[in-house]
Each structure stands twice: as structure tokens, then as C-alpha cells.
């Protein structure tokens, strides 16, 4: 860093701290900073910001004018909703010829209005600066894009600070356009992950969903990405929501629908407003934390099948099966009455709708998938009422469920029943 270069930061949050830490103690000594939290009415907030200055080794200033006095390079790194206000406040306070690097995540139109404010004051030179990646772990070497009339001098100064700027050829707003439009995808993915993973956890199907996505997109590692994306929204959601409002504005300025950007605002704001500490957990822990804060609970962990259920070719009718199949069995039992049998034969779907069965159970009944009915909680003595309605006796029904002819079934039973060899465990059937 050149010895005589004076640097000022407007806004001293994550990005500013990362840049300064990358420059080291020598660079920090040349830095002044002003953050509006310096004037916050809450003493704890003011003290926390003073601690940030001290920890970084910069000079924290009580006023914006004090921070900008004599600064040759001014970084504006505030929240998106404060960017235009910061530019307007700084414009008359800039040193003659100072470069004003507007690194805020704003729509191109917002950048152009800020540029007009700076240029109209006749002192500083406005530069459209876009921070193109998270500032950790690269810190001051994080990729930057620079555009506008003064991009050349800005790139030269930034490279002297061992930063990583590239020129985006074009007027003010060009670098911002690239960043904003890229954010539709990047911050939109965070919102998509939040909605997908939270829904998956509540339904109890998250692992199946994410594993299937890994099959479709090999090497993406959806579970690891889910943990990362949730942490980003939980930690920075409020700031990201402000940025995405500018993204939505960018799309609207282009005359296009901005539905995706607007929806992303909602999810980012929602996650940020929870004020959760994402911690070091995996995606499940983070998703469950968010669900609880939103007033929901994840699906309970599946209960392992009892050992006695390991019987190939059938389903043990226990208490759990009884609960699952209650309405299915009540439908079957209703067919004891002739009037109900006639009503069912006249309109099977309409009659089934009298019972709050699952769609799977209804499909199994309509298809006369006898084994599927047992899997879904049906009791053989109840489902036989349906078979009788169709004119099928118990021996015929058992043969159909066994997958053999009635004669072969009769011969098997007269010969002592199904042989024990190969039928002791589901593993012997190759599905365990």
C-alpha cells in the first residue's frame, strides 16, 4: 500500500472489515471509517461498533466529515437502502479528485442517481464498484468489477492495494447490472433451497428429495449446498432482502417481469427476520431451527419396522397398520350391507369419497390391488368383503394375492402350504 494513500470507509461491516484485515496492520493504520451505528441511540450498538474499529485497527470517526477529510479513496459499503443517502451526504465532503467507490448492491438506476449527486458537487469522481463474491475467505482479493468514466484510475488504485478489480466496459451501472442480474440466480438459489428444504423436512422426505437431485445433477452435493445456502439466508437475510429489492428494481427498469426476484425478497427477509444463529450444524439442524422459529415442526423420524414384520410376501396387521388402514377397513366392512354394495357398484369413486381414505388407498381399491391394500393398512378379513362383492371367494382371492392359479394354490395348500425354505426373511427375496 502506498504510504501516502488515505482511505475512508462509509459503512464498516463485513466487507469493510474483510478488506482491512487483508491489508494487514500497516494498511489498517491508513484507514478512517464512519458507520451510522456510531450515532445509534442504543449505547450497546455504539459500543459494539467502536469495538469493530478497534479490532480492525482503523480510526473510527464520530462524523462523516471527519472520516472523509483528505481521503483519496472512499469506499461506500452500506446497506442497499442507504446507498443513495450515503452518496448524497458524502458528495460535498469529498476531497478534490477523490475516487468515490460505490460498492453497494444497488440497481443501475440507483447508481446513476448517486453518480449524478457526486459529480454535481464538483469534487469527487464516482466509480461503480461491484463486489462479485463473498468477501471470505479472499478478503481484499475478492473479485471486483468496476465501470464508469473513472474506472481506469480506480483499477490502478485498487491494484496498488493488492485487490482484484476488473473493468466492466461501459458507463456507470454496467458493473451493477452484472452483479444484480447474477443475484437473481445466486440469492434466488438460497430462497429456493429454503423453501425446498423446509418443506422437505416438514414432510419427512428431505433426504429422498436431495438425493434424487444429486442423481439429476451429479457432483453438486445438494446436502452440503443446502447447509451453506441456509446459513447465508439465516445470517444475512435482511441485507440480502434489501439487495434483492434493488435486483427487482433492476429487472423492472429493463421492462421485464420480476416475479422471481420479488419472491426471493420475501424468503430472504423471512429468514433474516428470525435472527437465528446458524451455528455449525448440517442442513437438517438449520432447517429444523428455522421451522421451529416459524411455528412448525419437522416430520418425526420414521419408526424402524419391528422384527416381526420381516415376513416375505405379506404385511403384519399390527396397531400401526390398524391406524393407517382404519378408513379403508371401514369402507370394506360397509359392504356387509346389500344397499351399500349396490351403491358401490353403481359409482365406485363416488362411494369411496364417503370415506376419508388416502388417494393411495382409493387407487388400490379401484385397481383391486389386493396386496397393496394390505400394505396400506387393510385387514385381509375386511378386504375379503370387497372380494365377495366382486364374486370372488376366499380361495380365489388368496390365489390372486399369491400370484398363482387357483388350482396351483389349492395344490400348494393340500401339500402342506408354502415351503419354509426361502421364505424365512425378506432378505431371502433380495429386497432387504
Say yes or no to pLDDT of 346 above 50: yes
Say yes or no to pLDDT of 425 above 80: no
Confidence class of residue 430 from pLDDT cuts 50, 70 and 90? low
Q: What average pLDDT score do residues 68-76 get?
A: 97
Least confident of 73-82, 322-331, 399-408: 399-408
Report which of residues 319 and 420 the model is more confident about: 319
Q: What average pLDDT score do residues 115-125 get?
A: 96
pLDDT digits (tens, 9 = 90+) for 47-65: 999 999 999 999 999 999 9
As given in the structure block, the three cell numbers for residue 24 are 494487514
Q: What average pLDDT score do residues 64-92 get?
A: 96
Written as one string, the DSSP assignment of 332-398 is HHHTTSHHHHHHHHH-HHHHHTTS---HHHHHHHHTT-HHHHHHTT--HHHHHHHHHHTT--HHHHH
Confidence class of residue 320 from pLDDT cuts 50, 70 and 90? confident
Phi then psi dihedrals of residue 59, to 5 deg: -90, 110
Contact, 395 vs 284, CB < 8 A?
no
Share the mean pLDDT of the chain.
92
Confidence class of residue 432 from pLDDT cuts 50, 70 and 90? very low
Peptide bond into 137 cis (omega under 30): yes
Contact, 177 vs 108, CB < 8 A?
yes
Confidence class of residue 415 from pLDDT cuts 50, 70 and 90? confident
Contact, 87 vs 68, CB < 8 A?
no
Q: How far apart are CA 103 and CA 145, in angstroms?
A: 9
| Structure confidence at residue 28 (pLDDT) | 87
pLDDT digits (tens, 9 = 90+) for 13-43: 999 999 999 999 888 889 999 999 999 999 9
As given in the structure block, the three cell numbers for residue 123 are 469534487
The torsion region of residue 172 among left (phi > 0), alpha (psi -120 to 50) and beta comes to: beta
User: Which domains does the chain carry?
Assistant: 7-172 (3.40.50.720), 177-293 (1.10.1040.10), 307-429 (1.10.700.10)
Q: How far apart are CA 196 and CA 428, in angstroms?
A: 38
List the alpha helices (DSSP H) in 8-150.
14-28, 43-56, 64-68, 83-90, 108-121
Q: How far apart are CA 183 and CA 167, in angstroms?
A: 19
Contact, 110 vs 90, CB < 8 A?
no
Say yes or no to pLDDT of 284 above 80: yes
Q: What average pLDDT score do residues 288-298 get?
A: 93
> Closest Cα partner for 398 from 9, 55, 408, 389?
408
Confidence class of residue 2 from pLDDT cuts 50, 70 and 90? very low
Q: What average pLDDT score do residues 222-245 get?
A: 95
Confidence class of residue 304 from pLDDT cuts 50, 70 and 90? confident
Amino acid at each position: 500500500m502506498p504510504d501516502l494513500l488515505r482511505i475512508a470507509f462509509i459503512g464498516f461491516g463485513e466487507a469493510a472489515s474483510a478488506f482491512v484485515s487483508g491489508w494487514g496492520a500497516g494498511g489498517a493504520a491508513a484507514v478512517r471509517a464512519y458507520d451510522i451505528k456510531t450515532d445509534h441511540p442504543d449505547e450497546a450498538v455504539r459500543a459494539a461498533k467502536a469495538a469493530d474499529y478497534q479490532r480492525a485497527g482503523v480510526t473510527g470517526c464520530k462524523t462523516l466529515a471527519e472520516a472523509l477529510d483528505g481521503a483519496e479513496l472512499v469506499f461506500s459499503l452500506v446497506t442497499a437502502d442507504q446507498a443513495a443517502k450515503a452518496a448524497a451526504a458524502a458528495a460535498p465532503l469529498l476531497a478534490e479528485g477523490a475516487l468515490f467507490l460505490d460498492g453497494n448492491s444497488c440497481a443501475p438506476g440507483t447508481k446513476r442517481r448517486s453518480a449524478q449527486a457526486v459529480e454535481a458537487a464538483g469534487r469527487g469522481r464516482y466509480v461503480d464498484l461491484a463486489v462479485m463474491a463473498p468477501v471470505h475467505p479472499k478478503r481484499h482479493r475478492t473479485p471486483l468489477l468496476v465501470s464508469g468514466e473513472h474506472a481506469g484510475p480506480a483499477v490502478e488504485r485498487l491494484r496498488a492495494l493488492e485487490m482484484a478489480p476488473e473493468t466492466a466496459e461501459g458507463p456507470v451501472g454496467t458493473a451493477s447490472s452484472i452483479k444484480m442480474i447474477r443475484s437473481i440466480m445466486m440469492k434466488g438459489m438460497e430462497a429456493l433451497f429454503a423453501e425446498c428444504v423446509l418443506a422437505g423436512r416438514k414432510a419427512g422426505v428431505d433426504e429422498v428429495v436431495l438425493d434424487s437431485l444429486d442423481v439429476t445433477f451429479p457432483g453438486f452435493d445438494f446436502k452440503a449446498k443446502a447447509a451453506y445456502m441456509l446459513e447465508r439466508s439465516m445470517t444475512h437475510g435482511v441485507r440480502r432482502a434489501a439487495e434483492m429489492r434493488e435486483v427487482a428494481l433492476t429487472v423492472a427498469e429493463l421492462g421485464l417481469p420480476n416475479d422471481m426476484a420479488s419472491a426471493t425478497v420475501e424468503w430472504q427477509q423471512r429468514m433474516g427476520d428470525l435472527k437465528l444463529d446458524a451455528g455449525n450444524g448440517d442442513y437438517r439442524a438449520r432447517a429444523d431451527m428455522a421451522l421451529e422459529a416459524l411455528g412448525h415442526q419437522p416430520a418425526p423420524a420414521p419408526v424402524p419396522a419391528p422384527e416381526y414384520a420381516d415376513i416375505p410376501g405379506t404385511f403384519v396387521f399390527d396397531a400401526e397398520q390398524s391406524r393407517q388402514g382404519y378408513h379403508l377397513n371401514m369402507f370394506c366392512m360397509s359392504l356387509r350391507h346389500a344397499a351399500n354394495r349396490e351403491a358401490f357398484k353403481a359409482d365406485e369413486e363416488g362411494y369411496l369419497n364417503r370415506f376419508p381414505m388416502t388417494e393411495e388407498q382409493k387407487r388400490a381399491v379401484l385397481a383391486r390391488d389386493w396386496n397393496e391394500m394390505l400394505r396400506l393398512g387393510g385387514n385381509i378379513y375386511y378386504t375379503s368383503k370387497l372380494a365377495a362383492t366382486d364374486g370372488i371367494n376366499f380361495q380365489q382371492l388368496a390365489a390372486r394375492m399369491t400370484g398363482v392359479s387357483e388350482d396351483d394354490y389349492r395344490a400348494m395348500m393340500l401339500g402342506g402350504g408354502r415351503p419354509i425354505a426361502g421364505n424365512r426373511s425378506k432378505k431371502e427375496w433380495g429386497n432387504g
